[in-house]
Amino acid sequence: MGSLKLFVKAVRKAKTIADERTVIRKESAAIRTSFRDPNLDQTTRRVDISKLLYLYILGEKTHFGQVECLKLLVLPRFADKRLGYLAAMLLLDENQEVLTLLTNSLDNDMKHHNKFIAALALNCLGNLASPELARDLYANVEEILKLSNSVYLKKRACVVAAKLTEKEPDLGDVFAPMIPTLLEDKSPLILSGTCHMIQAVYNYCPSFQPDMVKLIPKLIAHFKRIISTGYLPDYDVNGVTDPFLKVTLLTTLRTLAVNANCTADDQEQLNDILTQVVSNHDSGKNAAHAVLYECVKTIFAVNSDQSLRVLGVNILGKFLPIKDNNTRYVALEMLLTVIDHEPLAVQRNRATIISCLADGDISIRRRALELAFAIINEQNIRVLLREILSFLGSCPDVELKPYITSQLTICAAKYAPNEKWHFDTLTRMLKLSDNHVTPDILSSILALIMRCQDAELKKHVISNLVQAGLEDPAQYGLALVTVWSVGEYADLILGSNIEIDGQPVAVDENLLLHLFDLFSNNPNYSEQESTQILLYMLTAALKLSAKMHTASAIEQLRAFINLKSTDNNLEVQTRALEYKQLFMQHESSKQGLLARMPAPPIKEREGLSLQGKAKVAPPSASTSHSTTEDLLNLLDDDVPSQPQSATQQNNNDLLSDIFGGLSTKDTKNTNTMPATQDLSSNGIEGFKNSHLRVAFIPKQFGNGEATADVEITAVDHGVSIDRVQILIAVPKSQKLTITTTSGSDSLVTSNVIRQSLKVVGAAGSKLKLRVKLKYNANQSEHTDQFDFAKFTSTL
Amino acid sequence: MAIQYLLILNRQGKTRLAKWFTGSYNEEERQGLIEDVHRLVSTRDLKDQSNFVEFHEGKLVYRRYAGLYFVMLIDFVDNELSVLESMHFLVEILDSYFDNVCELDLVFNFHKLYMIVDEIFLGGEPHQMLKKQVLRRLEYIDSISL
């Protein structure tokens, strides 16, 4: 076996992975053999261990060397100890049994007169601190902290003490009382270590929190001293004196100052020092930014006064135009978290935030975008949405687009200065959004159009849509909205003028049919999108047949529907065939059928967040629903105005959602009750098939609470029914508990299964249940589902 | 503030240093993490992207120095800028110690690399930020290691 260097070289020389494996395997085997030699001399062992470490770095198995490295570190030579401890730190971790073998060596070495050896042991303990080691060896650390006069050891001991306290919080009893003395030391290194101790004790030993909070004045005094000492070449990092210590001090102060025991005086002192630090550090270099950033974090974490908070936001504002990506990144991130505290101050940085939308870094763009939406209000919505729309048009990040469209719809609905602007904005959004608009956004836009009372405005909107659709027929969302609107409101715009490429063009029936042509044969759509548009167009074509008057146009519509009645897609074909029938109906019956849709209610949409933190708080929806008879709130995400297919699908999804979400909980509660007596004759029948009958017996209603019993009985006693499971869902605004019972879930052994329900909700609301029934009849599984709303009383 | 781990990887993803300050991963998870980190960091743009990226339960702070990625995982509450500065400090020390450090220096002297890291970081906290002092200590330690 050669030296470590030769081994490393051999590994590097290997041309293929297979070669490398061979070299590694050979060496690994050789090391194992060598370890087995009882007369292994120290030099060889050292070489072996160093090779073993190289294997470790390569990701190889090294467990066989664990004991060998312990043997190495007991040797007296520094070189051996160094390698031994290094190996121990790498090859062992705090979860391993072997660690106990280390205790003795650590104990001895921490007492070693050579501070470098003691430091090795301290390092090792700090890295491998297991609760056992912590309990066994805390006394050594304590001794170093008390007696050693070496800064080199003491600062390490501070950090190690912090680590041990984290692992074994009882040690707070030992270390917490030492902190005040340690704080007397003026050495920056020990101060920094002590800060770590304070944080560990504060976070892990709640009983010492009041004591730690009392240290605030001392920490502030230290901080003042550090700021006033000025330039120290040794501690200088890019023109900032010891930024690391400052950051540590700030973090520690922040940890302590949020405690309720922090006095007003301390707060004031802290505010003072923060102001000083902020004014003492000019932005420019990363080190200075780190300190300033920590200040801002502290300002918003502790209860600082308003002027300071504004100052904090201004610092962040100054960060935004800085060229360094990192600084911009943290500034935006921080602004996002402080917007709730100081909305106005954040507002003032609008221009810089917007300019970050053009940043090269997607994470910066994303944060800027989120921030831009967060600062929108009535006053600035015009400016901001203009910027956001132009960003939407140029934005290279496909994954941001759905977020933009959805947030934009919400903001526009919330802050639109007038209806016309609102519609124009939405139209512009549709023009730019490709297919990144979700169906619910489309349907809410359609709902808005339907609700629009102003005929002139409606005409303006539809004309705009048609114009936009003619200009760019490849925009999926736009196409859907346009097709639908034309079908519904073609009569409003027929005969008016729109402008295309600066030329006025009269809107006539041919133009609209041309528009449909553009949509139906557009190669830009995916298959799914084409089908969706086709379905919309069929409906629109049918509706248009009642609105158009020229024979040729009507003939074209008929031809279109006819053509689709042989379409490959089943749904399209079915629809076309149905419409074909309708098309042939007499004019008078068609008029009624094809009348305009009634305007649906507008749904509140919840704001999204790109980072999982709720930023836009939606107004609570529950208030508006409590008194209405809203058919199960559960279904309130229905797309109100779309062709049937979409609605249908949505319903199904929701159902599975309801049951997917609830079933586990309900199943647990769904036990059954032995039949004591036959009560099935009374109650309201909710469901009956050839096997089972389910009846509801109302018990107590009123005061926002309702109780009822459910009884399941067998219809045909010749069929053996067992494993009956009943799952019940109520609207979101109500809460259901299914209670009791004991007994079996079989109708073979008993003749009734009884459950009692308790529903809590807003007083006066109706009780509606959706029930899913699962059971085995003669060994085969059945599932049934029904809705039940026959309770006459309300909650 | 605590660094969970410090990795030095080359552009091909070979580990040059892996220092784990927490015992919460087993050996297999560690190898998996190293691969994930490399995949994430190596695809990021050098010029246009910041040196921070969210990863698992924290943030990676990374920087590429020539052919080597220096990567640290920190908590969300930690100060990214300060951690980045401490990373740069480590690189400066390496550069002085090895006199214009290059990847090969780290390959052949990996045990020294670990020692240097231990001089600067302890249990995930930077504890010694004086360049001159660190270099003096290292020199001394080398002199008694013969």
Q: Count residue pairs from A and B with Cβ separation < 8 A.
A: 147
Preferred mutation among B6, B125, B139 to probe A, highest tally of A CBs within 10 A: B125
Residues A782 and A639 in one domain: yes
Residues A575 and A638 in one domain: no
In this prediction, residue B90 has a pLDDT band, given cuts at 50, 70 and 90, of: very high
Is the separation of the CB atoms in A155 and B118 below 8 Å? no
Beta strands A684-688 and B15-20 are unpaired
Structure confidence by residue, pLDDT tens digits, A421-447: 999 999 889 888 877 888 888 888 888
Which tokens is A520 given?
């139906």
Nearest chain B Cα distance for residue A135, angstroms: 17
Give the residue on B whose Cα is nearest the Cα of A252: B1
Q: How many residues does chain A have?
A: 795
- CA atoms of A183 and A186, how far apart (whole Å): 8
CB atoms within 10 A of CB A593: 11
Task: Indicate whether A366 belongs to any domain.
Answer: no
Which residue is associated with the tokens 């030391």? A185
Task: Indicate whether A135 belongs to any domain.
Answer: no
What is the predicted pLDDT for the residue at A613?
39
Residues A697 and A781 in one domain: yes
For residue A732, give the nearest of A624, A586, A614 by alpha carbon: A624
Nearest chain A Cα distance for residue B99, angstroms: 20
Residues A496 and A543 in one domain: yes
Complex ipTM value: 0.93
Phi, psi of A476 (to 5 degrees): -60, -50
In this prediction, residue A164 has a pLDDT band, given cuts at 50, 70 and 90, of: very high
Q: Which residue has the higher pLDDT, B8 or A631?
A: B8
What is the predicted pLDDT for the residue at A635?
37
In this prediction, residue A40 has a pLDDT band, given cuts at 50, 70 and 90, of: confident
Residues A438 and A583 in one domain: yes
The closest CB to that of B107, out of A8, A53, A243, belongs to A8
The closest CB to that of A326, out of B17, B18, B84, belongs to B84
Torsion of the alpha carbons at A235, A238, A239 and A245, rounded to the nearest 10:
-40
Which tokens is A565 given?
């009645």
Task: Indicate whether A726 belongs to any domain.
Answer: yes
What is the predicted pLDDT for the residue at A606?
62
What is the predicted pLDDT for the residue at A42?
82
Residues A546 and A694 in one domain: no
- E strand or H helix that includes residue A711: strand A705-714
Task: Indicate whether A313 belongs to any domain.
Answer: no
Say how many domains are in chain A: 2
What is the predicted pLDDT for the residue at A680?
42
Q: What Cα–Cα distance (Å) separates residue A160 from each residue in A118, A141, A409, B65, B75?
A: 12, 8, 54, 31, 20
CB contact under 8 A, B79 and A82: no
Q: Does residue B55 register a pLDDT over 80?
A: yes
Structure confidence by residue, pLDDT tens digits, A673-717: 333 344 444 577 778 787 878 888 887 777 777 888 888 877 777
Range list of β-strands (E), chain B:
3-10, 15-20, 52-55, 58-65, 68-74, 121-122, 125-126
CB contact under 8 A, B123 and A78: no
Preferred mutation among B57, B82, B93 to probe A, highest tally of A CBs within 10 A: B82
- CA atoms of A251 and B79, how far apart (whole Å): 9
- In chain B, % of residues over pLDDT 90: 47
Structure confidence by residue, pLDDT tens digits, A71-82: 888 888 898 899
- E strand or H helix that includes residue A701: strand A692-702
CB contact under 8 A, B1 and A247: yes
Task: Indicate whether A61 belongs to any domain.
Answer: no
Please compute the mean of the pLDDT values over residues B11-22 and round it to a whole number: 89
In this prediction, residue A608 has a pLDDT band, given cuts at 50, 70 and 90, of: low
- CA atoms of A720 and A135, how far apart (whole Å): 65
Radius of gyration of chain A, Cα coordinates, nearest whole angstrom? 37
Please compute the mean of the pLDDT values over residues A232-261 and round it to a whole number: 86
In this prediction, residue A648 has a pLDDT band, given cuts at 50, 70 and 90, of: very low
Weakest-pLDDT range from A306-320, A364-378, A579-593: A579-593
- CA atoms of A623 and A461, how far apart (whole Å): 32
Residues A654 and A764 in one domain: yes
Q: Using a CB-CB distance cutoff of 8 angstroms, which residues of chain A are in contact with residue B108?
A: 5, 8
Q: Does residue A285 register a pLDDT over 60?
A: yes
Task: Indicate whether A648 belongs to any domain.
Answer: yes
Range list of β-strands (E), A55-169:
none
Q: Using a CB-CB distance cutoff of 8 angstroms, which residues of chain A are in contact with residue B114?
A: 86, 89-90
**CATH number of the domain encompassing residue A748:** 2.60.40.1230
Q: Which residue has the higher pLDDT, A92 or A210?
A: A210
CB contact under 8 A, A93 and B20: yes
Q: Using a CB-CB distance cutoff of 8 angstroms, which residues of chain B are in contact with residue A361?
A: 45, 48-50
CB atoms within 10 A of CB A719: 14
- E strand or H helix that includes residue A503: strand A503-506
Task: Indicate whether A328 belongs to any domain.
Answer: no
Q: pTM of the prediction?
A: 0.70
Task: Indicate whether A408 belongs to any domain.
Answer: no
Please compute the mean of the pLDDT values over residues A117-122 and round it to a whole number: 92
Note down the domain range covering A556: 426-593
Is the separation of the CB atoms in A411 and A373 below 8 Å? yes
The closest CB to that of B79, out of A237, A293, A360, belongs to A293
Preferred mutation among A47, A49, A93 to probe B, highest tally of B CBs within 10 A: A93
CB contact under 8 A, B15 and A94: no
Weakest-pLDDT range from A187-191, A745-749, B54-58: A745-749
Which tokens is A324 given?
């360094």
CB contact under 8 A, B125 and A5: no
Structure confidence by residue, pLDDT tens digits, B24-42: 788 888 889 999 999 999 8
Residues A571 and A652 in one domain: no
In this prediction, residue A137 has a pLDDT band, given cuts at 50, 70 and 90, of: very high
Structure confidence by residue, pLDDT tens digits, A712-762: 877 777 777 777 777 787 776 777 777 655 456 777 666 777 777 778 777
For residue A779, give the nearest of A722, A717, A727 by alpha carbon: A722
Could you give the count of Cα atoms lying within 13 Å of A529 in the half-sphere of its Cβ? 21
In this prediction, residue A603 has a pLDDT band, given cuts at 50, 70 and 90, of: low
- CA atoms of A389 and A431, how far apart (whole Å): 10
In this prediction, residue A672 has a pLDDT band, given cuts at 50, 70 and 90, of: very low
The closest CB to that of B127, out of A86, A192, A251, belongs to A192
Residues A515 and A638 in one domain: no
Give the residue on A whose Cα is nearest the Cα of B77: A297
Residues A453 and A565 in one domain: yes
Q: Does residue A252 register a pLDDT over 90?
A: yes
What is the predicted pLDDT for the residue at A744?
65
Nearest chain A Cα distance for residue B20, angstroms: 8
Is the separation of the CB atoms in A513 and A486 below 8 Å? no
What is the predicted pLDDT for the residue at A94?
67
Nearest chain B Cα distance for residue A265, angstroms: 27
- CA atoms of B8 and B6, how far apart (whole Å): 7
DSSP state of A683: S
Give the residue on B whose Cα is nearest the Cα of A294: B79
The closest CB to that of A93, out of B23, B108, B145, belongs to B23
Residues A556 and A637 in one domain: no
**Distant-in-sequence, close-in-space partners of A439: CB < 8 Å, separation ≥ 6:** A639, A642, A646
What is the predicted pLDDT for the residue at A684?
79
Q: Using a CB-CB distance cutoff of 8 angstroms, which residues of chain A are in contact with residue B128?
A: 155, 189
- In chain A, % of residues over pLDDT 90: 17
- CA atoms of A587 and A596, how far apart (whole Å): 15
- CA atoms of B134 and B131, how far apart (whole Å): 5
Preferred mutation among B44, B77, B122, B132 to probe A, highest tally of A CBs within 10 A: B122
Structure confidence by residue, pLDDT tens digits, A170-186: 999 999 999 999 999 88
Residues A456 and A564 in one domain: yes
